[in-house]
């Protein structure tokens, strides 16, 4: 699997393109944390993680996949573009703290990436135009 990078991701302009770049095709990973879950729980509470998490949120303007117009109003997550393994934590692999390999997501987008479910992605808002919500016009002046 090739290493995914923020510098490559930002070349894609739409949420769909960024999703396609990041998706894991329905495979979360071969290894589960199991009894070693305390490693990643300790990592996600560490001062180093909390600091880099803030850096990534600011860089991405608090937007889903870093795309303006997709501001996250609820549960905000930082996604590792490349899966992390227990050995990364044990060995102190500094790449897991490198913003180049991290992106801000909402919970639904994070689930879409991991499970390959495009239907979970946020939809582009409909562009409204003057009069498009008008209930009746001169050409349709029926009475009820």
Mean pLDDT of the chain: 86
Q: Is the pLDDT of residue 39 over 60?
A: yes
82, 8 contact by CB (below 8 A) = no
Q: What are the pLDDT digits (tens) for 49-88?
A: 999 999 999 999 999 999 999 999 888 999 999 988 888 9
CA–CA separation, 86 and 63 (whole Å): 29
pLDDT the model gives residue 78: 97
Confidence of residue 36 (pLDDT cuts 50, 70, 90): confident
pLDDT the model gives residue 115: 87
Instruction: Name which of 82-86, 104-108, 135-139 the model is least confident about.
Output: 135-139
Q: What are the pLDDT digits (tens) for 108-120?
A: 999 999 888 888 9
Of 42, 110, 124, 44, nearest in space to 75 by CA: 110
């Amino acid at each position: 699997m090739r290493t995914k990078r923020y510098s490559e991701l930002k070349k894609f302009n739409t949420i769909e393109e960024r999703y396609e770049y990041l998706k894991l095709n329905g495979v979360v990973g071969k290894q589960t944390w199991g009894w070693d879950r305390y490693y990643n729980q300790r990592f996600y509470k560490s001062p180093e993680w909390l600091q880099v998490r803030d850096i990534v949120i600011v860089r991405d303007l608090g937007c889903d996949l870093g795309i303006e117009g997709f501001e996250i109003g609820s549960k905000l997550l930082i996604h590792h573009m490349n899966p992390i393994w227990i050995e990364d934590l044990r060995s102190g692999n500094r790449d897991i703290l490198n913003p180049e390999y991290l992106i801000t997501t909402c919970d639904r987008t994070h689930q879409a990436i991991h499970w390959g479910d495009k239907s979970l992605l946020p939809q582009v808002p409909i562009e409204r135009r003057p009069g498009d919500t008008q209930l009746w016009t001169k050409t349709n002046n029926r009475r009820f």
